[in-house]
Amino acid sequence: MASKSSLNDGRAFDFASWPPKLSPEQLNELVSTASAYSLAHGLLYLPPGYPLDSPPPQAAIHAPLSLVPSPFPRDLFESAKRLQTIYNVLYSRIAMNIPFLDEVMGAEQGVGRVDDFIGELWRGWKRLRDEGKLPQPLHLGLFRSDYLLHIPGDQKPSLKQVEFNTISISFGCLAQRVAELHRYQLAATSYFDSSPYLQRDNFPPNESISGLAEGLATAHKAYVSQGGNPRSKILFVIQPGERNVFDQKWLEFELLEKHSIHVLRQTFDDLITSAKVENETLTVSSTTEISVVYYRSGYMPHEYPTPAHYTVRLILESSKAINCPTIALQLAGGKKVQEVLTRPGVVEKFLPEFSAEQIAELRGSFMDMWGLDEDSQDAVGSTETGGQGKSEPLGTTKARKEFASLVLKPQREGGGNNVYKDDIPAFLDKLPPEEREAWIAMRLIEVPQGVRGWLLRAGSVGYSSDTLSAHNAVEAEVVSELGIFGWALFGKDGEKEKIEEKEVGWLVRTKGKDSNEGGVATGFSVLDSLVLV
């Protein structure tokens, strides 16, 4: 049966009717306008195989994108935007709650005992705390909360959170550009009057470039107000050979043109020799004072191949520069934290000033999840688990029984790390018992069925699909994930708390339905935008 979404006027949107019918000639025109617009407006990627030691980019391709925006219920889009303020405050308070992070993510009591990467970050952070080498009380978070539509059976659609991201938030800039592309295509072609939903009022504005840059600029100004050099720069800590460089460059351009703030880009390898802290001031390359450290890397273990890479992370953290994120805020984004927040009474302790209605809306975005190591019904949930074989924790036993409706997640970002459905039993057989604490089980979100889309990748028709055409676009059954961006500048002065925060735009990533993962940079998804229904 087709999934449907209720409309305010009582009609219903049939997801299986999407996208509207387009002729080959119409698709050719959309491909032509999308490619030209993207190349002219910086919706760009570096091509595969671009040399890591190349000079500044001299060639580019358009980013992978959708030709037609994806349908999304208007009321749930507005709900996601409302929730962002609550999530901004929630994760700010988690990052400031040292005992909570020590218990959940630490190397003495929590996930860090069995996850070497998390443990190394936590131990370094604790060492700085113990030595009094955290002189900057402020944290900056650039956040993205990711959601899917959940439509079990014939029930009304609801909004369910996939994850909350606290480090290396990507595609904010290209998300705005693809929304602008779809508005341009609407103006240029009216999408050939192929659907009554494809109207200007149903294309929500997206100002994520200025919004994310505002967060960075607010932190820079706070640093200057503390006595920092007004001519200090924001440091972007980047990956070597970054193909997604233009998504970062739009932030760099916005910071200079709108806020007169300069950006310096360096990798961890660069910083091992260039970064130093004297009198708590961070300088790079001898003379450049840094106001804000913005990480577009540093979220995966392979990015710290030597002890020197961990050391330089701690050097940056031990300065007066405002880190985005701090180690504490990176730890707060762990999947184990997400799971613990679903337990009764936890979010309420962090959010005492929010109304019961707001808390209910927040909890309504949670999916059922639990830790593989959990051995109590309160943590695992009330579902009957059956026998507990070989002293296996209830959380693992439940995952074995209900694997067909689950995904297992480790404490990782960036895509390609999860274990799905039929792969779960064999994975659990091989998972050492001492590593269970690093994994959570999450109920799979039941996405709309039958919705399709036209996906375009530069120079390739190799995307998995059942339909290929000469116009180089691919039609496939798809799943679309909505991300809402926000920022928060927060900290404590003694017992006094300060949180300045804002919701600042959105992102849509669309992937073929048979792909379990969702990262654009990892090759699973295309960039997309919304048509509200």
**Would the annotation count 248 as a binding residue?**
yes
- Count the domains in the chain: 2
Is the pLDDT score of 2 beyond 80?
A: no
Residue at 467 is within a domain:
no
Rounded to 10 deg, the angle between the 116-130 and 307-317 helix axes is: 40
Residues 396 and 524 in one domain: no
Name the catalytic one among 110, 112, 158, 163: 163
Is the pLDDT score of 13 beyond 90?
A: no
Residue at 383 is within a domain:
no
Amino acid 471: pLDDT: 52
452 counts as catalytic? no
Rounded mean pLDDT of 220-238?
98
Name the catalytic one among 409, 436, 457, 502: 409
Name the catalytic one among 214, 289, 339, 413: 413
Residues 449 and 424 in one domain: no
Two structure tokens written together for 41? 């407006």
d(CA 12, CA 88): 33
Least confident of 8-12, 24-28, 227-231: 8-12
413 counts as catalytic? yes
**Would the annotation count 84 as a binding residue?**
no
Domain interval for residue 404: 368-375+392-443
**Would the annotation count 481 as a binding residue?**
yes
**Would the annotation count 517 as a binding residue?**
yes
Residues 406 and 303 in one domain: no
Confidence class of residue 494 from pLDDT cuts 50, 70 and 90? confident
414 counts as catalytic? yes
Residue at 300 is within a domain:
yes
d(CA 323, CA 294): 6
Query: Bigger pLDDT: 366 or 286?
Result: 366
> What is the per-residue pLDDT across 368-407, written as a single tens digit (0 to 9) for each?
999 998 887 667 764 444 444 457 899 999 999 999 999 9
The continuous run of DSSP H or E covering 246 comes out as: helix 245-259
Amino acid 286: pLDDT: 86
Confidence class of residue 414 from pLDDT cuts 50, 70 and 90? low
165 counts as catalytic? yes
Residues 480 and 414 in one domain: no
d(CA 355, CA 350): 12
Q: Which of 384, 372, 361 is nearest to 336 (CA)?
A: 372
Single-letter code of the amino acid located at 70: S
170 counts as catalytic? yes
Residue at 310 is within a domain:
yes
d(CA 110, CA 437): 8
Name the catalytic one among 165, 202, 318, 365: 165
d(CA 307, CA 298): 13
Amino acid 107: pLDDT: 94
Name the catalytic one among 42, 124, 241, 414: 414
Confidence class of residue 3 from pLDDT cuts 50, 70 and 90? low
**Would the annotation count 512 as a binding residue?**
no
**Would the annotation count 168 as a binding residue?**
yes
Residues 407 and 354 in one domain: no
Residue at 206 is within a domain:
yes
The C-alpha angle 296, 297, 301, rounded to 5 degrees, equals 160
**Would the annotation count 361 as a binding residue?**
no
Is the pLDDT score of 166 beyond 90?
A: yes
Is the pLDDT score of 469 beyond 50?
A: no
120 counts as catalytic? no
pTM across the whole model: 0.92
**Would the annotation count 190 as a binding residue?**
no
**Would the annotation count 55 as a binding residue?**
no
Name the catalytic one among 313, 400, 436, 509: 509
The three-state secondary structure class of 510 is: strand
Amino acid 47: pLDDT: 85
Amino acid 252: pLDDT: 98
Residues 102 and 230 in one domain: yes
Residue at 233 is within a domain:
yes
Residues 431 and 403 in one domain: yes
Residue at 525 is within a domain:
yes
CATH number at residue 419: 3.30.1490.50
Phi-psi region of 299 (alpha: psi -120 to 50; beta: other; left: phi over 0): alpha
Mean pLDDT, the chain, as a whole number? 90
**Would the annotation count 418 as a binding residue?**
yes
Residues 436 and 454 in one domain: no
Name the catalytic one among 4, 177, 233, 335: 335
> What is the per-residue pLDDT across 497-528, written as a single tens digit (0 to 9) for each?
999 999 999 999 999 887 655 444 444 589 99
Residues 407 and 524 in one domain: no
Name the catalytic one among 4, 126, 144, 400: 144
> What is the per-residue pLDDT across 114-153, written as a single tens digit (0 to 9) for each?
999 999 999 999 999 999 999 999 999 999 999 999 999 8
122 contacts 105 by C-beta, under 8 angstroms: yes
**Would the annotation count 335 as a binding residue?**
yes
150 contacts 447 by C-beta, under 8 angstroms: yes
Residues 302 and 221 in one domain: yes
103 counts as catalytic? no
Residue at 103 is within a domain:
yes
Bridge-based pairing state of the strands 369-371 and 322-324: unpaired
The pLDDT > 90 percentage for the chain reads: 79
**Would the annotation count 443 as a binding residue?**
yes
DSSP secondary structure string for all residues of 113-135: GT-HHHHHHHHHHHHHHHTT---
The pLDDT > 70 percentage for the chain reads: 90
d(CA 134, CA 128): 6
Residue 132: exposure state from Cβ atoms within 10 A (0-12, 13-18, ≥19): exposed
> What is the per-residue pLDDT across 240-297, written as a single tens digit (0 to 9) for each?
988 899 999 999 999 999 999 999 999 999 999 999 999 999 999 989 999 999 999 9
Residues 202 and 131 in one domain: yes
Least confident of 17-26, 293-302, 311-320, 462-471: 462-471
> What is the per-residue pLDDT across 36-94, written as a single tens digit (0 to 9) for each?
999 999 999 888 877 766 667 778 899 999 999 999 999 999 999 999 999 999 999 99
Residues 455 and 419 in one domain: no
Amino acid 142: pLDDT: 98
